[in-house]
Amino acid sequence: ESSLLKSKFRACLLGSSIGDCFGSPYEGDIITSGEKIIIQRYFDKLEDPNFKGPYKQYTDDTAMMKSVAKFLIDKPEPDYKFLAKLFVTEYFKDPKRGYGQNVVEVFHKLKNSKFDDIFKPANEQFLGSGSYGNGGAMRVAPIALYFYNKYNYMLEVATNATKITHTNILGINGALLQCIAISQALLCDPETKIDPKVFCNQLCDKMKEIEKVDEDDLDATQNAYQEKLKIVENLLEKKHDDKLDEEVILHLGHGISAYESVPTAIYCFLKAQNEIPTIDTGNAFRRTIQYAITLGGDTDTIACMAGALAGAYLGEEAINPILAKQCELNKEILELADNLFSAREGLPIE
């Protein structure tokens, strides 16, 4: 039904931005059990209708996601030069949003070369190996929503949109994994509990197809995400105890690379569909974001990606509006989601 779909579009983009805004104060931190209690109080406060604090500010994750949404809304055919210009304009307008250390070089080169070859600067990163940062994955949500029923085209657009800044196969495939996971979550009925095994296996089958392309490549990246997804599945089967989060960090990671953060975000999303002993809330959306942040490391980005997944699955009803109002761009993000939803109506039906 179209009103449910629209609600899922709104919750996905809002969820992505809420994760970014609430996670960013903790980015780079190691979270002790004492800090988990502080994070519980932080969320309790954010849900308190009488709490009046300054907006939680968004970072590069939301800034770039907005550009990806605009890229789809403003032009009927994907125009990657337009997207590159949106990224660069947004960056120079407001550079202090915590962008990745190396991606800013790409923005400067794009600008200085007058967008002559929009894929060249990214190709030159890291002595030609390209970035494997999670920057492609953190901003991919609008593509997953917009093309959720055009699978192959969705992958093509997500690949090209990523390659403007990230050309390493791990950076690209991480973005594709996050994209596929969102489109899969979008199609799940929020009234029915997700079977994590089924969800992971579906993702794993799709990554098998994607990672097969690199069969001749002798580097160790082949099967990388399939293997991670098997770990996600195994960790989800374990009973929660004090040591489990450490295992998650050890085996899945909580870092700035796509490889050490996208599977982690998927894990957070699936785990938070059930109660978690260290987190006191009856709300699965909040639990997702809060849990992602308690893992520490790249908290804004892992919470952003997990929040996009939770929103795409649960819809807007699951997001406490009091919580959402604490985020800097909450109204703009919902408007963007509505425009993205409307823009789809012009698309030919498959």
Cα angle at 129 between 127 and 134, to 5 degrees? 115
Q: Give yes or no for a contact between 314 and 277, defined as CB atoms under 8 angstroms apart.
A: no
Q: Is 132 in the site for ligand F2R (CB under 6 A)?
A: yes
- DSSP tally for the chain: helices H, then strands E: 18, 0
Q: Is 55 in the site for ligand F2R (CB under 6 A)?
A: no
Assign residue 161 a region (left: φ > 0; alpha: ψ between -120 and 50; beta: otherwise).
alpha
With a CB cutoff of 8 Å and minimum separation 6, the contacts of 97 are 58, 59, 60, 63
Q: Is 90 in the site for ligand F2R (CB under 6 A)?
A: no
Residue type, 212: K
Q: Of these, 17, 67, 131, 320, which contacts ligand F2R (CB under 6 A)?
A: 131
Q: Give yes or no for a contact between 307 and 288, defined as CB atoms under 8 angstroms apart.
A: yes
Q: Of these, 40, 57, 123, 129, which contacts ligand F2R (CB under 6 A)?
A: 129
Site string for Mg ion, 26-65 (x = CB under 5 A): --x------------------------------xxx----
Closest approach of Mg ion to the CB of residue 116, in Å? 28
Closest C-alpha among 251, 69, 220, 74 to residue 142: 69
> How many CA atoms within 13 Å lie on the side-chain side of 345?
7
With a CB cutoff of 8 Å and minimum separation 6, the contacts of 69 are 13, 142, 336, 337, 339, 340
Closest approach of ligand F2R to the CB of residue 313, in Å? 23
Closest C-alpha among 150, 154, 200, 160 to residue 179: 154
Q: Of these, 101, 152, 239, 349, which contacts ligand F2R (CB under 6 A)?
A: 101
Closest approach of Mg ion to the CB of residue 314, in Å? 23
Number of residues that bind ligand F2R (CB under 6 A): 25
> How many CA atoms within 13 Å lie on the side-chain side of 18?
35
Please state, in angstroms and rounded to a whole number, the distance separating the CA atoms of residues 261 and 280. Answer: 24
Site residues for ligand F2R, window 15-34 (CB under 6 A)?
27-28
- In 191-306, beta strands by DSSP E: none
Local structure of residue 26 (DSSP, 8 states): G
Q: Of these, 39, 61, 204, 327, which contacts ligand F2R (CB under 6 A)?
A: 61
Closest approach of Mg ion to the CB of residue 274, in Å? 26
Q: Which does 289 bind (CB under 5 to 8 A by kind): ligand F2R, Mg ion, none?
A: none
Q: Which does 316 bind (CB under 5 to 8 A by kind): ligand F2R, Mg ion, none?
A: none
Q: Is 255 in the site for Mg ion (CB under 5 A)?
A: no
Q: Is 59 in the site for ligand F2R (CB under 6 A)?
A: yes
For residue 260, the tally of other CB atoms under 10 A from its CB is: 21
For residue 62, the tally of other CB atoms under 10 A from its CB is: 28
Q: What six digits make up the tokens of 284?
A: 């699965």
Nearer to ligand F2R, 84 or 200 (CB): 84
Residue type, 41: R
Site string for ligand F2R, 294-333 (x = CB under 6 A): ----x-xx--------------------------------
Q: Of these, 15, 19, 121, 133, which contacts ligand F2R (CB under 6 A)?
A: 133
Q: Which does 178 bind (CB under 5 to 8 A by kind): Mg ion, ligand F2R, none?
A: none
Which part of the chain contacts ligand F2R (CB under 6 A), choosing from 49-57, 99-107, 233-241, 306-314? 99-107
Q: Is 260 in the site for Mg ion (CB under 5 A)?
A: no
Which part of the chain contacts ligand F2R (CB under 6 A), choosing from 8-16, 98-106, 190-198, 217-225? 98-106
Q: What six digits make up the tokens of 347?
A: 């698309």
Q: Is 60 in the site for ligand F2R (CB under 6 A)?
A: yes
Q: Please report, as ranges, the residues that interact with ligand F2R according to CB under 6 A.
A: 27-28, 59-61, 98-103, 126, 129, 131-135, 138, 168, 256-257, 298, 300-301
Q: Please report, as ranges, the residues that interact with Mg ion according to CB under 5 A.
A: 28, 59-61, 98, 298, 300-301
